[in-house]
Amino acid sequence: MSVLVNKDSKIIVQGFTGTEGTFHAGQMIEYGTKVVGGVTPGKGGTTHLDRPVFNTVADAVKQTGADVSIIFVPPAFAADAIMEAAQAGIKLIVAITEGIPTKDMIQVRDYLRDKEARLVGPNCPGVITAGECKVGIMPGFVFQKGRIGIVSKSGTLTYEAADQVVKAGAGISTAIGIGGDPIIGTTTKEAVELFMNDPETDGIIMIGEIGRNLQAEAARWIKNNSKNPVVGFIAGQTAPPGRRMGHAGAIVGGADDTAAAKMKIMAECGIHVVASPAEIGETMVRVLSKVSA
């Protein structure tokens, strides 16, 4: 079993023939991901990267059986692309696009409530099941197969954590970059639940940042439902109140939004909290060794 994607997932790329779509689709194909086609309105009937191009997601799903879509569509059109994918029956939608207007994402959130589709992102690096399937922009060579899951608000720290885990002698089951915007699809808690229920994941790394209560919500769920050990890190420990730090969603709006407050809640809920990102991998491997001893 794997989380969200595996070697049998059939992926289409929305924005397939654009610069970003072309580059990252090529990287995904090179990794071994089963990219079965792409969508660019007006270019249906052509081929790109030796894959068919369709005018609509519905056409792509009908002809390829695709169940996953990755979106490289400009911000002004990305919300429509997400909703089109959900309407066409895509089960997992990974929105890489950064800068989608908040009002558009409110519409997307409301639209997806009665759909079976799961959204990851937007403004995220994507999802990778190590050695099987990469649906995103992460450097695939960093992710070696193993039994540690990663859920992260930060793309860069996702790669760093994976690299540390591998260098410490372990590996990654799946990594999920949930996205840094104020309104996202899959939350930290939801991603943690997926990992807790995955028999091929023995430990979880949870990386958050200042702003919102995603990690606190996940921590409280972990306290009551934990099956596997969790190592946590919060970025933005020196951020001043009211100032955005990097991601649009990374802004301290209240006392519970600070890194210190989140780290305290996480520790109280049994999560192994580290103060520095340099400690993530070694701590995870050490905690797992104690559990299995």
Query: What pLDDT does residue 191 have?
Result: 98
Catalytic residue among 24, 48, 247, 272: 247
Mean pLDDT of the region 83-110: 97
268's tokens: 């109280």
Distance, CA of 62 to CA of 157 (rounded, Å)? 37
Band of the pLDDT at 114, cuts 50, 70, 90?
Answer: very high
Judge whether 247 counts as a catalytic residue. yes
Domain boundaries, the chain: 11-120, 138-292
From residue 46, give the alpha-carbon distance in Å to each of 42, 156, 195, 211.
Answer: 10, 35, 39, 45
E-assigned strands of the chain? 11-14, 35-39, 47-48, 51-54, 68-71, 92-95, 118-120, 126-129, 133-136, 145-152, 172-177, 203-209, 230-235, 272-273
Write phi, then psi, for 240 (nearest 5 degrees): -75, 150
pLDDT per residue over 126-143, tens digit each? Answer: 999 999 999 999 999 999
Query: What pLDDT does residue 257 have?
Result: 67
Percent residues over pLDDT 90 in the chain: 85
Mean pLDDT of the region 86-109: 97
Mean pLDDT of the region 71-80: 98
Domains 11-120 and 138-292 share a fold: yes
Cβ atoms of 66 and 88 closer than 8 Å: no
More confident residue, 258 or 284: 284
Average pLDDT, the chain: 92
Burial 67-82 (b: 16+ CB within 10 A, else e): bbbbbbbeeebbbebb
CATH of domain 138-292: 3.40.50.261
Total-model pTM: 0.93
Distance, CA of 126 to CA of 111 (rounded, Å)? 21
Order the strands of the 145-152 sheet from edge to edge.
133-136, 126-129, 172-177, 145-152, 203-209, 230-235, 272-273
pLDDT per residue over 166-203, tens digit each? Answer: 999 999 999 999 998 989 999 999 999 999 999 999 99
Is 92's pLDDT higher than 50?
yes
Domain 11-120 is of which CATH architecture? 3-Layer(aba) Sandwich (3.40)
Is 245's pLDDT higher than 70?
no
